[in-house]
Structure 1
Amino acid sequence: MMPRLAILCPGQGGQHPAMFDLLRADPRTAELLDQWLPPTVLGQPLERILSDDTLLFSNLLAQPLIVAATLAAWFALKDAVPAPELVAGYSIGELAAYGVAGAVQPQQAIGLATLRANLMDACVQQSPRQVLFAVSGVDVRAVAALLAPLQLYVAIETDADSCIAGGHYQDLHLIADDILRLGGKISVLPVTVASHTPLMDAVVAPFAEELRGQLSVDPILPVLSGLSGQVVNRKEQAISVLSNQMAHTIHWDDCMDACAEHRITVALELGPGSALSSMLRARHPHIACRSVSEFRTLQGVVNWLERL
């Protein structure tokens, strides 16, 4: 039986100095990366960025790098793997998902990622210090109730008792003790933009306007909306979702459940990192989940899929 494949496109957080090594081992993919990520696009050589964590985790560079790595992995593998039933992306990964689905070309997607990051950084400059932090071990509804009186919001729901929250850094200490008292755990993420919260409201309209000029075709593959887990198959829907998700809660738990509802049997995360495949494996153990980053070669990815 042919596997029913879902492609998962990661968000920020999994960057590391060797994130392009596996891809560069393939000459064709290495050539693509040279075309997509010249110093004129990034403002400096890629090697310098990869050797400096301050640059690597900066919002302005992280977003286009994540999109480039994701799409390079897809272009290296797409002719050797089954046609995906679904594509799903987490945060900036949702933009990459439309590159996988053929609604936008890779260099366009990288450019849109840079614009997205610039718009978000402009919001940060006009605001007190922002933060994203993971909360686990507490019901998300209880977390939302604690956040509500403050400039803090649930940004991404990942499970009934885990989420990413974001907002003003100065408000984090006001609820930290309450979360710990309820038995929860807090981990501050290496992201300085409160994405997927109302603090990003100002970026929605300008990003939507840019998307209208660049997303000119419907996605060839079904893409899951991060806002709802529903299937998107029209460019108008894609424009609405990709712009509005910047300032509204991502329901990644619904995306994972949608994979199960669509009878997905195997999920491949394009990397870097393996957070999405780990979450899906934990939530739906019957789905075989791996990340490209777990393999030593791209052929190893193909071999794994062929054995299923």
Structure 2
Amino acid sequence: MGSRLALLCPGQGAQHRHMFDLAGTSPGASELLDTLLPAIRLDATLAQVLEDDARLFSNRLAQPLMVAATLANWRALAAVLPAPALVAGYSIGELTAWAVAGGLAPAAAVALARARAGLMDDCVAAGPAQALVAISALPYGAIDGVMRRLDFHLAIETGDDSFIAGGPAAQAADLERAIGALGGRAGLLPVTVASHTPFMRGAVDPFAAALRQHAIPDPAVPVLSGISAERLNHGAKAIEHLSRQLAEPIRWKDCMDALVEAGITVALELGPGAGLSRMLQARHPQIATRSVADFRSLGGIAAWLGRHVE
């Protein structure tokens, strides 16, 4: 069997001031960005936003900017990328994945990311401040009771003993102390939205309605569902899975295992950031895995792909 390529689309948290630099070396990607940025409705120039962490990491801008940056890298690589066998996305990256797979126009994906962020922010505004905490060195089952007591919920499962939990910000420090007392590690993430938990239930139906406003054709290649790790081949599934994942846990560990089951031999994270490629490399080292963030030039990415993709 020949090589099979998977493309990985990251979630927010990996954004940085140079996130558009690589795409900026491609005329096609620069042209795409010119059409995508107006949909984000930046409150300053792009350069000013990239230099201002308060703006760059605000939920309302972080989500559409991550989608735009990932899609720009994808367009920059269009000439050298072989046809993928599967596309997977982490959190907001799953929306990007549908665009990469041909189920959504890039401009529609960015506009939907902006709407998604706004709906999630509305859920935050309706209650107490929220937080995400990264937990490791403990299986979820060992602290389920502690989390329930503090009103925290599983948000993203990243490994056998690592996951992200979401809940009220006022209880985050208590959770960190409890995890430490049990021998685990915990750290507050720079995200103020308890995504993929019941705190986001109010956004599910409105986002499904927003998705229904777009004709979503069947993707050219399957998209991996974050909440079930199943391969989705029909556009109608995008509405259900992209809306449900707002308030349900992302099973990223299962998604990584599903790549192996699908016969994937090569994986490229479209960046910015390299978190997904590092997780996959650690869990399944037999898959040749890199991120565009690892390279200094588009030519370097093309050369690596040439060595690993038949």
Q: Secondary structure of the equivalent of 2:144?
A: helix
Contact 1:39 1:45 in 2 (8 A): no
> 1:21: which partner in 2?
21
TM-score in terms of structure 2 length: 0.96
Following superposition of structure 1 onto structure 2, how do residues 1-308 of structure 1 map, counting pairs within 5 Å? 2-38=2-38, 41-308=41-308
Which residue identity is paired with 2:68?
Answer: A
Aligned residue for 1:38, secondary structure, equals: helix
User: How far apart, CA to CA, are the structure 2 residues paired with 1:231 and 1:29?
Assistant: 28
Deviations 1:10-32 (A, max 9, x none): 00111110110111011221122
How far does the alpha carbon of each residue in 1:128-153 deviate from its partner, in whole angstroms, 9 at most, with x for none? 11001100001111233321123211
C-alpha separation in 2, matches of 1:40 and 1:219: 24
Matched-pair contact (CA < 8 Å) for 2:67–2:96: yes
Q: Distance in 1 between matches of 2:22 and 2:178?
A: 43
- Tell me how far apart the structure 2 counterparts of residues 22 and 123 of structure 1 sit (CA, whole Å): 35
Q: Secondary structure at the match of 1:248?
A: coil
**What is the rounded CA distance, in whole Å, between the counterparts of 2:135 and 2:122 in structure 1?**
26
State the distance in 2 between where 1:35 and 1:212 align.
22
- With over 3 angstroms needed to count, the CA separation of the structure-2 counterparts of 1:25 and 1:119, relative to structure 1, is same
Please list the CA deviations of residues 177-213 of structure 1 after superposition, one character each: whole Å capped at 9, or x if unmatched: 2210221111111110000000000000000011011
TM superposition shift of 1:2: 4.2
Q: Which runs of 5+ in 2 are unaligned?
A: none
| Distance of 2:286 and 2:98 partners within structure 1 | 26
Q: Distance in 1 between matches of 2:142 and 2:221?
A: 37
In structure 1, stretches of 5+ residues that fail to align are none
Q: Distance in 1 between matches of 2:182 and 2:25?
A: 48
Decide whether aligned partners of structure 1 residues 40 and 91 sit closer, same or farther in structure 2, where only a CA change above 3 A counts: closer
* Contact preservation (8 Å) 1:38, 1:46: no
Residue by residue, what CA displacement relative to the aligned partner does 1:202-247 show, whole Å, maximum 9, x if unpaired? 0000000110111431111100000011011112211100000000
By how many angstroms is 1:47 displaced?
A: 0.9
Q: Quote the offset at 1:124 in angstroms.
A: 0.7
**More divergent stretch after superposition (114-123 vs 35-44):** 35-44
**Contact 1:9/1:93 (<8 A) preserved:** yes
2:217 match: secondary structure: coil
RMSD of aligned residue pairs (Cα, Å) = 1.3
Map Cα deviations across residues 231-266 of structure 1 (whole Å, 9 max, x no partner).
111122111000000000000000000001111111
Segment of structure 1 superposing worse, 225-234 or 25-34: 25-34
Question: What count of residue pairs does the alignment treat as equivalent?
Answer: 308
Q: Secondary structure at the match of 1:214?
A: coil
1: CA distance between counterparts of 2:198 and 2:43?
30
Shift of 1:176: 2.3
Letter in 1 for 2:85: E
Change (3 A) 1:223 1:40: closer
Q: Matches of 1:117 and 1:80 in 2, distance apart?
A: 32
Among the aligned pairs, what percent are the same residue? 54
Question: Could you tell me how far apart the structure 1 residues matched to 2:75 and 2:285 are?
Answer: 28
